[in-house]
Amino acid sequence: MKLHYGWVMVAIGAFITCIAIGAMFSLAVFLQPITEATGWSHAAVSSAMTIGFLAMGAAGFGWGALSDRIGPRSVVLAGAVLLGLGLFLASHAQSPLQFQLAFGLLVGIAVGSFFTPMIAAVMGWMAEHRGLAVSLVSVGVGVAPMTMSPFAAWLITRTDWRSAQVVLALLVWATLVPAALFVRRPPAAQTAEQGAAEGPRPSLRDAFVSLPFLVLALTFFACCAAHAGPIFHTVTYAMTCGLPTMAAVTIYSVEGFAGLGGRLALGVLADRLGVKRVLIAGLLIQALAAGTFIFASRLGEFYAVAATFGFAYGGVMPLYAVLAREYFGQRILGAVFGAAAMVSSLGMALGPAVGGWIFDRFGAYTWLYIGSFAVGIGAVAIALAFPPVNDRIKTLHLKEVAP
């Protein structure tokens, strides 16, 4: 029964992340309509996403630590209410600052309550196949561009951007609030048995100064810095190449569909071949694909590059949680993974703002994709420094304490 509800938690997590991440990333679809309707600059609107990533990361650490203490249900429920409120307030913004505070700060804080607590909860429910389970939870992130983004684009063709965001707010409240009520904390007995089987684990304080955490956080940061700009700006880039809006949005959908396959494939491979080697391979593919966007100008070319890019970045993202679980255990997983995600959000925050500045300055995105390639190669280099998980006590020189 426990294992059965563990897979139910996987399904709930996938659904929640699809709606929540899809609502946040809908700004990529709204970017052009907002700037045209308001006269605000690309950099000003894109900065809302930058603020959102920063808020999501900082809040994710707090939400993760809180879920370790009180369980994920209350955390996810609070986030659902805040997310709808942020979207509703953003629809009424009369200045870039108001929009940045609503869509950036409030939406970012809300979205931070979903991924880390749900990942930690699912890991606690699953005794095996953790790589696959975490990948399936994050499937929602890949499905979002195939569902929420086209839905947002359809809304834009039927109404103005403000009304479209009100509809998204209502959708969030109508779906996420009920879903949150089915979220359950992992059984205490199962968590205790897993902790006993794995032996002593580091304290939270020791974990934050350990080599595995530093490598995990820095790799996560560089990975997100490499793909944030291409994810957010490729729709606009395709439109500058002459593609119509709906066609450009389908590129985002192809990227998301490929990410769905990447999450499943790399999750299974991580369970079989080891997380570290699969992560490094995925990071290398991501870097090469990001640089290849420079050469795309027609729809078919965009599809090919987006599929490769989406497969890679979609596949590697769940693996960081699996590594955190292997190094630090279940007891402090929410806080540790939340802290790593907070660092990664700094990388995510760079992409929208820097990409917007590059476009405003040069009228093109070439330097964005060149920079993404270089940072992606840096992520590969950092990931090579991960110590073997089985030798973590010798490698870390940590003072291990029992849970």
Helix/strand/coil (H/E/C) assignment for every residue in the chain:
CHHHHHHHHHHHHHHHHHHHHHHHHCHHHHHHHHHHHHCCCHHHHHHHHHHHHHHHHHHHHHHHHHHHHHCHHHHHHHHHHHHHHHHHHHHCCCCHHHHHHHHHHHHHHHHCCCHHHHHHHHHHHCCCCHHHHHHHHCHHHHHHHHHHHHHHHHHHHHCCHHHHHHHHHHHHHHHHHHHHCCCCCCCHHHHHHHHHHHCCEECHHHHHCCHHHHHHHHHHHHHHHHHHHHHHHHHHHHHHCCCCHHHHHHHHHHHHHHHHHHHHHHHHHHHHHCHHHHHHHHHHHHHHHHHHHHHCCCHHHHHHHHHHHHHHHHHHCCHHHHHHHHHHCCCCHHHHHHHHHHHHHHHHHHHHHHHHHHHHHHCCCHHHHHHHHHHHHHHHHHHCCCCCHHHHHHHHCCCEECC
Written out in words, the top-level CATH class of the domain with range 2-185+195-398 is mainly alpha
User: What is the chain's pLDDT, residue by residue, as a tens digit (403 residues)?
Assistant: 444 788 899 999 999 999 998 999 888 889 889 999 999 988 889 889 888 888 988 898 889 888 888 889 999 999 999 999 999 999 999 999 999 999 999 999 999 899 888 988 888 887 677 777 887 887 777 677 678 888 998 998 898 999 999 999 999 999 999 999 999 988 764 454 454 445 446 677 888 888 999 999 999 999 999 998 898 888 888 888 888 877 888 887 788 788 888 888 888 898 888 889 999 999 999 999 999 999 998 999 999 999 999 999 988 988 998 888 888 887 777 888 888 888 888 888 788 778 888 888 888 889 999 999 999 999 999 999 998 876 544 444 444 443 4
What is the model's pTM? 0.71
